[in-house]
């Protein structure tokens, strides 16, 4: 009886340790969400989704406004927006409107919403 109890404690303890290790790996995972095949970035109440996207040179991204306020995606840094001069639609977009931009230069391009600079994101172009 004592040997069975000891083995049961060992097996249960091992399973608990495995579950804790797996759970901590899931919690610590910070893998950026890639842009879907449609290469669409949504603007909503909390800003841009995804916050980090990966594309190839020559790919086009559609910035779609599904938020309650207007959006204006534009290159960092605020207020000069000088990091990627062509990444500027030159106007704001209302809810339901969208803007397409083709990235022709490789790099890590941070951008923000010109109307609410606290809404920031980044696109890595390879």
Question: What's the rounded Cα separation, in Å, for the pair 45 and 17?
Answer: 40
Write down the domain spans for the chain.
Answer: 1-30, 40-125
pLDDT tens track for 47-61: 999 999 999 999 999
The DSSP call for residue 82 is: -
Residues 6+ apart with CB under 8 A from 111: 48, 73, 74, 75, 76, 84, 87, 120, 121, 122, 123
> 49 or 21: whose pLDDT is higher?
49
The pLDDT score that the predictor gives to residue 32 is 60
> 21 or 94: whose pLDDT is higher?
94
The pLDDT score that the predictor gives to residue 4 is 82
pLDDT tens track for 85-125: 999 999 999 999 999 999 999 999 999 999 999 999 999 99
Tokens 């995606």 sit at which residue?
A: 73
Residue 25 has pLDDT above 90, yes or no: no
Look up the CATH number of domain 40-125.
2.60.40.420
């Amino acid at each position: 009886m004592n040997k069975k109890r000891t083995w049961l404690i060992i097996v249960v303890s091992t399973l608990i340790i495995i579950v804790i290790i797996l759970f901590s790996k899931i919690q610590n995972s910070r893998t950026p969400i890639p842009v879907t095949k449609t290469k669409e970035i949504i603007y909503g109440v909390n800003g841009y989704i995804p916050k980090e996207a990966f594309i190839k040179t020559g790919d086009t991204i559609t910035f779609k406004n599904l938020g309650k306020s207007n959006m204006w995606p534009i290159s960092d840094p605020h207020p000069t927006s000088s990091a990627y001069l062509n990444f500027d639609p030159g106007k704001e977009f209302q809810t339901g409107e969208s803007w397409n931009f083709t990235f022709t230069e490789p790099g890590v391009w941070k951008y923000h919403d010109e109307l609410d600079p606290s809404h920031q994101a980044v696109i890595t172009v390879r």
